[in-house]
Amino acid sequence: MDWSSFLPLLPEIVFTLMGLLVMTLELLIRRKETIAILTIVSIGVTAYFIPQSLGRAFNGMFVSDTFSVFFKYIFFLNLLLTVLISLKYLRIERSEFGEYYSLLIFSTLGMMIMASAGDLIVLYLGLELMALSTYVLAGFVRHSVRSNEAALKYFLLGAFSSGIVLFGISLIYALTGTTLIQELPHRLTQAEPVASVVALVFLVASFGFKVALVPFHVWTPDVYEGAPTSVTSFMSVGPKAAGFAALARVFIVGLTPLAAHWQWILAILAVATMAVGNILAIQQVNIKRMLAYSSIAHAGYAVLGLVAFSPNGLSSMLNYLLIYAFMNIGAFSVVIMMRSEGVTGESLEEYKGLARRYPFVSALMLLFMFSLTGIPPTAGFIGKFFIFKALVERGLVWLAVVAVIFSVISAYFYLRVVMYMYMYEPEMEIEGLSLSPALGLAVLIAAIGVIVIGVYPEPVLTVAANAGLYLP
């Protein structure tokens, strides 16, 4: 047996073993901090194997290329920051169970498989692994009715979307006789056009559900609001990025003959997504719900990179997703700091006058809000700028203009948080933030990411450009 053919799978194999180890040791080790550290160690060990894994395995069924490697680093960043912000938060929520960490690991494993899938069946199984773990995590605070509701809603709608993706895959298999993504283009050119477009529609619907594109976004606000905040932050970055990885690989590598169709379908969905996300965010008074609508809106911007259908467009999408991971988890970690015994920290009112008592935390929140709006010199500006540039290069000026207009609208609700913090007198007595070294470290990493990419974006842009070049 030639073991070198398993090399592209090595990071996934190592990560699975580490996940099983974390799951087993959790029974023996009482201190949850140790489990969290073990999780971080397993990220480090797996990350070491990732650069060596480039190649194809199992006849192209599993592909490790610069594109998937870039996504895997986004997933690891997401997992690392989530573990750091979870420790204290779970204790406050009284749900400090060790399975939390192994579920996070297996969910991330599912995302890695999705990013590397060269076959629609592998892609589906990765998606299911990611989603199943996330359903459980969303309902992790068992004594909270809202958390249960979030898990059940996410599960039911997710099950439907799984059915839809399978129907799409089966139609594609019927048309082409293969599920290998790289084989699809030359077989689809001779396939029956109506049926292939219908298959495309089903794939758009189910991937659109995972990344929360309008009109498949309805679950997002309820689930994001009800799930534990640390899980919300995990869900708003990881599964979304994985959904984009799947969209990019299936559409750009596999469904290239249908590009003319999916380009305008995605363009319409992007405009609708930006409109609904940004406009409905304005009237939210719960900060988690506001960030849920904001994450819908950001999916709208990111999908524009696919609409451009060029190497530059794809790398701008990758770049955007990385930046989004930093700024969104940063914002959620500040929300987690506000949660302490007896204080939900979710209502916007509670942010009034925060700057008086906690100038440093407020300054960080200001940074993340500026970045989410896209104000220079933060990273959010770089992300949006390169997406708009890719659109203009392809002659899609009108789309870029629409996206800029919605960006301006988004300033209203992001900067309202800043205004509440800096320009109001404190109304409620804030008991004190629930700070911990791990949480502080997470916010610091996020803040440094936002500032460094904002001021000196060159290295990230180069890596993203390399990753984006590979696909088309």
- Residues engaged in binding other proteins (CB under 8 A): 9, 16, 23, 57-59, 61-62, 94-95, 97, 99, 102-103, 106, 109, 113, 119, 121-122, 125-126, 128-129, 132-133, 135-136, 139-140, 142-143, 151, 167, 171, 174-178, 187, 190-192, 194-195, 197-199, 201
What does residue 230 show for φ and ψ, rounded to 5 degrees?
-65, -35
Q: Min. distance of Cβ 443 from other proteins in angstroms?
A: 27
Given the complex with other proteins, which of 151 and 445 has the nearer CB atom?
151
Given the complex with other proteins, which of 176 and 295 has the nearer CB atom?
176
Spell 257-293 as b/e; 16+ CB within 10 A means b. bbeebbbebbbebbbebbbbbbbbbeebeebbbbbbb
Q: Min. distance of Cβ 333 from other proteins in angstroms?
A: 24
Q: How many Cβ atoms sit within 10 Å of the Cβ of residue 428?
A: 11
Given the complex with other proteins, which of 177 and 359 has the nearer CB atom?
177
Tell me, rounded to whole angstroms, the distance of Cα 100 from its chain centroid: 19
Given the complex with other proteins, which of 205 and 402 has the nearer CB atom?
205
- Helix/strand/coil for 427: coil
Given the complex with other proteins, which of 187 and 356 has the nearer CB atom?
187
**CA dihedral sign, ordered 453, 455, 459, 465:** positive
d(CA 323, CA 335): 19
- Alpha helix segments (H runs only) across 394-436: 397-423
Q: Min. distance of Cβ 326 from other proteins in angstroms?
A: 28
Give me the residue label for tokens 């559409």: 251
Torsional class of 216: left (φ above 0), alpha (ψ -120 to 50), beta (otherwise): alpha
Spell 108-134 as b/e; 16+ CB within 10 A means b. bbbbbbbbbbbbbebbbebbbbbbbbb
Q: Min. distance of Cβ 378 from other proteins in angstroms?
A: 37
Distance set, CA 127 to CA 85, 111, 114, 239, 437 (Å)? 25, 7, 6, 9, 33
Q: Min. distance of Cβ 122 from other proteins in angstroms?
A: 5
Given the complex with other proteins, which of 122 and 299 has the nearer CB atom?
122
Given the complex with other proteins, which of 108 and 294 has the nearer CB atom?
108
Given the complex with other proteins, which of 75 and 358 has the nearer CB atom?
75
Q: Min. distance of Cβ 300 from other proteins in angstroms?
A: 22
Q: Min. distance of Cβ 427 from other proteins in angstroms?
A: 29
Given the complex with other proteins, which of 119 and 225 has the nearer CB atom?
119
Q: Min. distance of Cβ 222 from other proteins in angstroms?
A: 12
Q: Are 31 and 98 in contact (CB under 8 A)?
A: no
Given the complex with other proteins, which of 142 and 357 has the nearer CB atom?
142
Q: Min. distance of Cβ 82 from other proteins in angstroms?
A: 17
d(CA 225, CA 333): 15
Contacts of 461 (CB under 8 A, 6+ apart): 315, 319, 382, 386
Q: Min. distance of Cβ 77 from other proteins in angstroms?
A: 22
**CA dihedral sign, ordered 242, 247, 249, 254:** positive
Given the complex with other proteins, which of 102 and 410 has the nearer CB atom?
102
- Write the DSSP assignment of 314-372 as a string of letters: HHHHHHHHHHHHHHHHHHHHHHHHH-BTTB---BGGGGTTHHHH-HHHHHHHHHHHHHH
Question: Distance between the two ends of the chain, CA-based, in angstroms?
Answer: 33
Q: Min. distance of Cβ 310 from other proteins in angstroms?
A: 29
